[in-house]
Amino acid sequence: MGLDITVLALDWERLERTPAAEREGVLYEAACPDTDWDAEPGSGWVWPASPEVPWAGRYEFHSTTGSYKPHFWAGESWDDVRQFAAPALTRPLDAFLGHLGMWYDGTDEDDDAPDSGLFPADPAPWRPRLLLVCPPATVSALAARWSDAEPLLDGLREEYDTHAAAPGRWIANFDEFAVLLREWAVVVRAAEQRGWGLLGLPI
């Protein structure tokens, strides 16, 4: 089957006020609400994510079928091309993709899940690790980094075509890479406008 990702924007203060033992259930309700299972899956934002969690929104990515693979391969593509990118693009895009968990610079030795104390300690947890944890301050930083990167992104096309294009891969070309990054920008901006945080659940 493979790994999926569900991205939630949340009122971080409400999340932190939720008793720690109840947070997992709240997040899974927001990610997979008990609604009409026969309805056609949509794309873009669902506000609220669930009637039971009105302080959360859920983002459905276009053309990824919920899979985490395109996000992973976007990071791999950046790793292939970043040394050929202009430094003015490299710095903000490193930070943007790094904070979103799509690209790693190889210096982080902490392999623990980025749960940031959101869940009670469990010596034998069954819960899969979160794929993304961005409190509101991190979301604001991401928005700033994207504002720096976005005007320069299209200038990466030629180098991408030379060093990172991979027909048949999830992210096969520059257009697919740029579309996914711009979708992430939509996610980040919506959360920032509300002063909310972001979580990525592996479902």
Q: What is the pLDDT of residues 63-106, one digit of tens each?
A: 788 899 999 999 999 999 999 999 999 999 999 999 998 988 76
> DSSP labels for the chain?
---B-EEEEE-HHHHHHS-HHHHHHHHHHHHS-SS-TTSPP--EEESSSBTTBTTEEEEE-TTSTTBSHHHHHHHHHHHHHGGGS-HHHHHHHHHHHHHTTS---S-----S---TT-S---SS--SPPPSEEE-HHHHHHHHHHHHHHHHHHGGGHHHHHHHT--TTSSS-SHHHHHHHHHHHHHHHHHHHHHT-EEEEE--
How many beta carbons lie within 10 A of that of residue 149, not counting itself?
23
Tell whether 179 is covered by a domain: yes
Confidence of residue 112 (pLDDT cuts 50, 70, 90): very low
Above 60 in pLDDT, residue 140?
yes
How many beta carbons lie within 10 A of that of residue 40, not counting itself?
5
More confident residue, 152 or 62: 152
Structure-token pair, residue 57: 């929104």
pLDDT digits (tens, 9 = 90+) for 43-60: 799 999 999 999 999 999
Q: Do the beta carbons of residue 41 and residue 65 sit within 8 Å? A: no
Above 90 in pLDDT, residue 181?
yes
Domain that holds residue 109: 6-201
Query: What total of structural domains would you count in the chain?
Result: 1
The four Cα atoms 80, 148, 196, 12 give a dihedral, to 10 degrees, of 60
Structure-token pair, residue 149: 């990167």
More confident residue, 101 or 120: 101
Tell whether 110 is covered by a domain: yes
Rounded Cα–Cα distance for residues 140 and 52 (Å): 27
How do 56-60 and 6-10 pair as beta strands?
antiparallel
Above 70 in pLDDT, residue 13?
yes
Tell whether 185 is covered by a domain: yes
Q: What is the pLDDT of residue 122?
A: 52
Above 50 in pLDDT, residue 198?
yes
Q: What is the pLDDT of residue 174?
A: 97
Above 50 in pLDDT, residue 137?
yes
Q: What is the pLDDT of residue 126?
A: 45
Mean pLDDT of the chain: 87
Please give the average per-residue pLDDT across 167-175, as a whole number: 93
Rounded Cα–Cα distance for residues 36 and 16 (Å): 29
Above 90 in pLDDT, residue 146?
yes
Q: What is the pLDDT of residue 196?
A: 98
Q: Do the beta carbons of residue 178 and residue 153 sit within 8 Å? A: yes
Structure-token pair, residue 197: 């945080």
Tell whether 1 is covered by a domain: no
Above 90 in pLDDT, residue 26?
yes
Give the residue carrying structure tokens 């509101």: 136
Cα–Cα distances (Å) from 89 to 136, 154, 158, 172, in that order, read: 24, 10, 14, 21
